[in-house]
Chains A and B, each alone.
Chain A
Amino acid sequence: MKRFAVVLFVVLAVLLLSVVMAEAKYRIAFVPKLIGIPYFNAMEEGGKKAAQDLDVEFIYTGPVTADVAKQIEIIDNLITQGVDAIAVAPNDPAAITPVLKKAKEKGILVMTSDTDGAQDVRDLFVNQALQNEIGYTVMDELAKAMNYEGEFAIVSCGPTAWNLNIWIAYELERLAQYPKMKLVTIRYAEEDVQMAINVMLDLINAFPNLKGVIGQCSTSAPGVAEAIEQAGKSGQIVATGLSVPSMMAKYVKSGTVKSFVLWNPIDLGYLTVWAAKYLLDGNQFEDGKEYEVPGIETKPKYIAKDKMLVLGPPKVFDASNIDQYMFF
């Protein structure tokens, strides 16, 4: 009887302890712009992996379309649930501010990731890469592929897209280092593959000496590569740009694209959860310091004046590594 009491006591104690332990687990939520697209699925995967490694609970929830109102509603629900940290990739940087303020007032750690917003409210922005480094890397990759000489064009997407224009500005800044290269024109093809193909076919005719082209967004990069192949100019004109591996693989395999640029969204998801845990543990980031984060391939750096943690330099995809990243 006595032995039974001891066993019972131990069992109860273990149960109680495990409940307390479970309670102590941080609950970290990430709200993407929308769910169900490969890019954010990849971020989710990274977040899950981090949650496992760091023993926290990871909640991934978001709207099915890139809807501002739905996103706010979801964040509101997370506040009610009393999570410890909310990271969000806002659909509207300004509209998200009041609900994030509310979260902060409830003592929740508030972060943005992938896309910034609510700068005066959020505690941290997990940034995939610096704008200037993205521009520089794209220009460097183009220069390498063109053997540092010849005419090239840029096919961008929306002429008003702020991030694309900033990247182009940095590409042109970097161009000064390659005196034998000449930009002949910048064209815009909206977020539409067919329009990018049309524009590029016209450019091939207009500039017979064209040696290279930058497809500035995820639709124009495969579009210009497709046009080069349709015109039978593969080998004569090289394409690079910013896009996703699943769309570019075909052109990397055929050699029309030697390399292209993006970042690793899995690592971005991982870093988001890691950073939340780091801050919840009571740590502070130091300005200019590079952090050793086990589980990701880069060394993130903190920039205090923007309260921003940068994943690292942009990632270059080419024939040697593209097969590992085909899921986004």
Chain B
Amino acid sequence: MTNTGFRKVLRRREFTVLGLIVLLVVLFSLTTERFMSVSNLSNLLLQLAGTAISAIGMTMVIITGGIDVSVGSTLGMASVVAGKLLVGGYSPFLVLLSALGTGLVIGLFNGTLIAFGNVPPIIVTLGMMSILRSLMYQLLGGRWISGIPPAIRVIGLGKWLGVPISMWITVVLIAFFTYFLSSRPLGRAIYAVGNNPEAARVSGIDLRRTTLFVYAVLGALAGFAGLVYVARTGIVQTNTGSGFELEVIAAVVLGGTSILGGRGTIIGSLLGAFLVGIIKNGMVLLNVPALSEGLVVGVLIILSVMIDVIRARGERS
């Protein structure tokens, strides 16, 4: 029993990623003196928080068989709203609500069109991405927001017990949503919708409500990531968050969530985010020429998925 349980763990995609992470950590610790330093590790965590927070929502969306490419623009829009309010002197609590609210409204809008309008997710979110970018442009008029008051920057820069506060928040969110996905009815419904929508519908799951829910959660989380962004950089520019969607989707897919839906975990996505983050960090520490950095990251991504596929094949035979 324990033996099969252990095998099950070994077989999981998350384990492959974890193994790769451990391998890289050992490699980088041996080849560079600076990798294991406190300042480097805490940097790594700071850099990953925003991606990991959004990846929670993205995991749920992809499990339902959907996708959201507007997540970078959502983060950007929430940053603009948060930045403007912060500079205007509003209370951090109100700013937090506004950032979450901005993301939530965007997510609800996406979700409504996808669930009730039957428009494919890639189309809805692609359109949304472009609409939000244009809105950001008009709100900012080309001028960047700077001069964010220091009080809020604790969220982005502060540390508790040596670990960045943004990472503590991430950990709490991950714990909550992991429990939610595995143990709450709505959480289980998300897997059911991705696995077999027809069967899910027959068994009494409200497909539309579930779909709306995942996009709304992703929107709100991206909004929160936007606030973390503002707190961390202290600057909001018109292209804030562009390209961020790819980072998030890469973390989720690398972490073992099937792009076809039905399978995946939030912990896996966190590991996926860590893997990419550690590779990028290590490339700089090893001073690998910048132009070949993308090459190494790309090869490692494909390699890690290939290992998984090969192992799965081996087990079947």
Q: Is the CB of A205 within 8 A of B287?
A: no
B50 to chain A, nearest CB (A): 8
- Asked if A247 is at the interface (CB within 8 A of a chain B CB), the reply is yes
- Cα-based distance from A316 to B240 in the complex (angstroms): 28
A198 interface residue, CB < 8 Å from B?
Answer: yes
Given contacts A36-B142, A198-B47, contact A205 B34 (CB under 8 A): yes
Q: Does A230 contact B (CB under 8 A)?
A: yes
Distance in angstroms between the alpha carbons of A207 and B110 in the assembled complex? 44
Determine the residue in chain A with the shortest Cβ distance to B34. Answer: A205
Q: Is the interface of A mostly helix, strand, loop or mixed?
A: helix
Point out the residue from B141, B144, B280, B284 that lies within 8 Å of A203, measured CB to CB. Answer: B284
Evaluate contact between A226 and B290: CB separation under 8 angstroms: no
In the complex, whether B258 has a CB less than 8 A from a CB of chain A is no
**B70: min CB distance to chain A, Å:** 18
Contacts of A230 in B (CB 8 A): 157
Chain A residues lying within 8 Å of B229, measured Cβ to Cβ, are 194
1/0 per residue, CB under 8 A from A, across B110-151: the answer is 000000000000000000000000100100011110110000
Q: A187-B284, A192-B243, A194-B240 are in contact. Are A205 and B37 (CB under 8 A)?
A: yes
Flag A246-260 by CB within 8 Å of B: 1 or 0 each: 110010000000000
What is the size category of the interface that chain B forms with chain A? 20 to 34
A74 close to B (CB within 8 Å)? no
Interface pair A222/B235, CB less than 8 Å apart: yes
Q: A159-B290, A205-B39 are in contact. Are A247 and B284 (CB under 8 A)?
A: no
A80 to chain B minimum Cβ distance, whole angstroms, is 28
Q: Is the CB of A193 within 8 A of B233?
A: yes
* Chain B 238-260 near chain A by CB (<8 Å), digits 1 or 0: 01101100000000000000000
Q: Does A191 contact B (CB under 8 A)?
A: yes
| CB closest chain-B residue, reference A207 | B287
Q: Is the CB of B235 within 8 A of A231?
A: no
Please determine whether A191 and B239 come into contact, CB atoms closer than 8 angstroms.
yes
What 3 A-B pairs come out closest when comparing CB atoms?
A37-B142, A202-B284, A205-B40
Known interface pairs A194-B233, A205-B39; 5 further A-B residue pairs with C-beta atoms within 8 A, sorted by A's residue number: A159-B291, A194-B232, A201-B43, A201-B47, A226-B233
B interface residues with partner A (beta carbon < 8 Å)? 32, 34, 37, 39-40, 43, 46-47, 134, 137, 141-144, 146-147, 157, 229, 232-235, 237, 239-240, 242-243, 280-281, 284-285, 287, 290-291
